[in-house]
Structure 1
Amino acid sequence: MTLAVSRHGHACVRIERAGRALVVDPGVWSDLTVLDDAEVVLVTHEHPDHLALDALVARATAGLPVRAPGPVVAALEAAGAPADALRTVASGDELDAAGLRVRVLGERHVVIHPDLPVPANVAYLVEDLVLHPGDSYTPPPAGTAVDLLLQPLGAPWLRLGEAADYVRAVGPRRVVPIHDALLSDLGRGER
């Protein structure tokens, strides 16, 4: 059965199959109505453009499960999200998320600047078909035929040549740009 993938602002995507949906990276520049009937949320890392903290605390309190690396789970708990709605994920984990098989890959964000700490960042490989790397160049496991790569397009850490090399290394059938709000009127403060 085919997966339906839709963008909901910046790095936020919704992945659906058979009427069931998961959401990846609902951040502050996302259309958060995408969470209304989602079954689970996956977060790649703690930056606000990938994590709308207050909205996710409210949704987790209402029972929406959130899966994320440790620093994200800690931030959600510190902000009042109930521990029973949260689960820490790390590279090598496999999840059933809204009836979809999700493999958790990678561990770190791309280096933004040598003087800044490198945050935790996981990538999500859904059904071995859709790869959401967050802010990383995490490759899929060897031999994985990625159908759709969600490729960041604009960021302070992004270097165009590295992004092109990443696309070539992954070798997806299709690429959809994400992480583009900084290139919009919103990102330039013109809204």
Structure 2
Amino acid sequence: MEVTKLEHACQIVTEGSARLVIDPGNFTRPVDVTGVVAVVVTHEHPDHVTPEQIRRILDANPGAVVIGPAGVARALAGAG
């Protein structure tokens, strides 16, 4: 397992060819990775999640899921 720390709160955990992205917020450069199976968001503050980052990751990884508390789901649903 490899853990890569990006700017601010974002981390990418890699195990084999599978990746988990944690807290891709607005203080993090665009996360353009493949092999993402899930995005974990700890809470809905913009420094931990932004709809643009989530959309970019999901577009590149159509089978990936987003995991987080209800506030995150509401924030992302409200952003389309």
TM over 0.5: yes
Other structure's SS at 2:54 match: helix
What does the per-residue CA deviation read over 1:98-123, in whole Å, with 9 as the maximum and x for residues that have no partner? xxxxxxxxxxxxxxxxxxxxxxxxxx
Partner Cα separation in structure 2 for residue 28 and residue 5 of structure 1: 20
Aligned residue in 1 for 2:53: 55
Which entry has the higher C-alpha Rg, 1 or 2? 1
Is the CA contact 1:15–1:22 (under 8 Å) kept in the aligned structure 2? yes
1:63-121 deviations in Å (ceiling 9; x for gaps): 331111001011111111xxxxxxxxxxxxxxxxxxxxxxxxxxxxxxxxxxxxxxxxx
The runs of 5 or more residues in structure 2 that have no matched partner are: none
Calculate percent identity across the aligned residue pairs.
33
User: Which amino acid is 1:50 matched to?
Assistant: H
Distance 1:17 1:11, change over 3 A: same
> What 5-or-longer segments of structure 1 have no aligned partner?
81-191
For this pair of structures, how many residues does the alignment match? 76
Residue 33 of structure 2 corresponds to which residue in structure 1? 36
SS at match of 2:21: strand
Assess if the C-alpha contact under 8 Å between 1:57 and 1:76 holds in 2.
Answer: no
Partner of 1:16: 14
Change (3 A) 1:19 1:59: closer
Q: Which fold has the larger relative contact order, with Cα–Cα distance below 8 Å and residues 6 or more apart in sequence?
A: 2
Stretches of 4+ moved more than 2 A in 1? 57-60
User: What does residue 27 of structure 1 align with?
Assistant: 25
Q: Give the deviation of 1:36 after TM superposition.
A: 2.2
Q: Distance in 1 between matches of 2:78 and 2:52?
A: 11
How far residue 57 of structure 1 moved from its aligned partner, in angstroms, is 3.6
Q: Do the aligned residues in 2 keep the contact of 1:57 with 1:79 (CA within 8 Å)?
A: no
Aligned to 2:78: 78
